[in-house]
Amino acid sequence: MTILFSNILTLETMDPNVRPESMERITSPELAKAFIDEQIAAVREQVGGNKVLLALSGGVDSSVVAALLIKAIGDQLVCVHVNHGLLRKGEPEQVVKVFKEELGANLIYVDAVDRFLDKLAGVDDPETKRKIIGKEFIDVFAEEASKLEGIKFLGQGTIYPDILESKDGIKAHHNVGGLPEGLDFELVEPIKLLYKDEVRVVGKALGLPDNMVYRQPFPGPGLGVRCTGAITRDRLEAVREADAIFREEIDKMNPTPWQYFVAIPDVKSTGIKDGKRYMGWAAVIRAVQTKDAVTAKSVEIPWATLCAIRDRIIAEVPGINRVLWDFSDKPVATIEWE
């Protein structure tokens, strides 16, 4: 089977940001492989002997772009992974393991945890938190870029819904036209005409691990939106640990819900431990099913699973004395607890 994605593109439309109607939906490893081969050739032609810089968060889109670019240009790709301290348990470690150790990427790991958390200290307004995280991320990335020489291109994990939503004015996506100021790069966006399901098929074909390819949606500001109010290190750690336990237990369900996570609001209540008063936070568990995240239904969790989750979170996570189940639907509740 031959499918010439880029040929279709030039024949049917002059706009490189419009997906041609005849472009086949990538649903199989064979179609993914054909797409990958084409993109490898296209990237090599675009980039030549130059270097490409890529912010690698560990999310599906940036991971797939990284794996594809490693195949296409090897050492000419420089990946930067910024650990802002708001990632889920084990995520920064997995990025290093998969990309540096297994795929041999040229990866710069930036431990910016203190820098982000210091800037966020005492800030309780959600929008201000988002702005601080976004600005700090760009600053850290630009600092790393300025240390490197000979970078001409910026790799980006833009996907087709990003382009469509930007066109419709729904959101100004950070991946579309949102280059950090002062960074004068040409973009390399090999998956910009793909839908999310196709990105996953391509990711599988590139050999990425399932927990990366089928990762749940995760907000850019990470656990920052699930640690409501002003973020403190102890409560952030409690969110991270409780979330890891919750996901581990829910992963035993079949099928697993679309999205499931823990949030910890900034509220303490009385408890009792070892015969003494134990002021603690309440961990809020949430599991939802949805098609597009515009509306969502709460997922039924069996009682035995709920009890196992409650017992583990209370026993294993310092600072928590209650577990609450948020089974509200969207609307009126949003999925996140921001």
Residues at the contact surface with ligand XMP, assessed by CB under 6 A: 217, 219-221, 259, 293, 330, 334-336
Q: Could you tell me the smallest distance in angstroms from the CB atom of residue 262 to ligand XMP?
A: 13
Q: Could you tell me the smallest distance in angstroms from the CB atom of residue 74 to ligand XMP?
A: 29
Q: Single out the residue of 262, 234, 236 nearest to residue 248, CA to CA.
A: 262
In the complex with ligand XMP, the residue whose CB is nearer, 297 or 330, is 330
In the complex with ligand XMP, the residue whose CB is nearer, 77 or 236, is 236
Collapsing DSSP states into helix, strand and coil, what is residue 29?
helix
| Type of residue found at 34 | A
> In whole angstroms, how far apart are CA 171 and each of 59, 62, 166, 299?
19, 19, 5, 28
In the complex with ligand XMP, the residue whose CB is nearer, 81 or 205, is 81
Please name the residues in contact with 329: beta carbons below 8 A apart, sequence gap of 6 or more: 295, 296, 297, 298
Q: Could you tell me the smallest distance in angstroms from the CB atom of residue 159 to ligand XMP?
A: 11
Q: Could you tell me the smallest distance in angstroms from the CB atom of residue 46 to ligand XMP?
A: 26
Q: Single out the residue of 267, 198, 204, 220 nearest to residue 26, CA to CA.
A: 198
In the complex with ligand XMP, the residue whose CB is nearer, 259 or 321, is 259
In whole angstroms, give the CA distance from residue 59 to residue 180. 20
Q: Could you tell me the smallest distance in angstroms from the CB atom of residue 17 to ligand XMP?
A: 20
Phi/psi of residue 205, each to 5°?
-65, -25
| Type of residue found at 320 | I
Q: DSSP class of residue 153?
A: E
In the complex with ligand XMP, the residue whose CB is nearer, 34 or 213, is 213
In the complex with ligand XMP, the residue whose CB is nearer, 44 or 131, is 131
Q: Could you tell me the smallest distance in angstroms from the CB atom of residue 197 to ligand XMP?
A: 16
166 neighbors 66 (Cβ within 8 angstroms): no
Strands 186-188 and 272-273: unpaired
Dihedral angle of Cα 65, 68, 73, 78, to the nearest 10 degrees? 30
In the complex with ligand XMP, the residue whose CB is nearer, 38 or 165, is 165
In the complex with ligand XMP, the residue whose CB is nearer, 43 or 213, is 213
> In whole angstroms, how far apart are CA 135 and each of 10, 128, 174?
37, 10, 12
DSSP assignment of 107-139, as one string? EEEEE-HHHHHHHHTT---HHHHHHHHHHHHHH
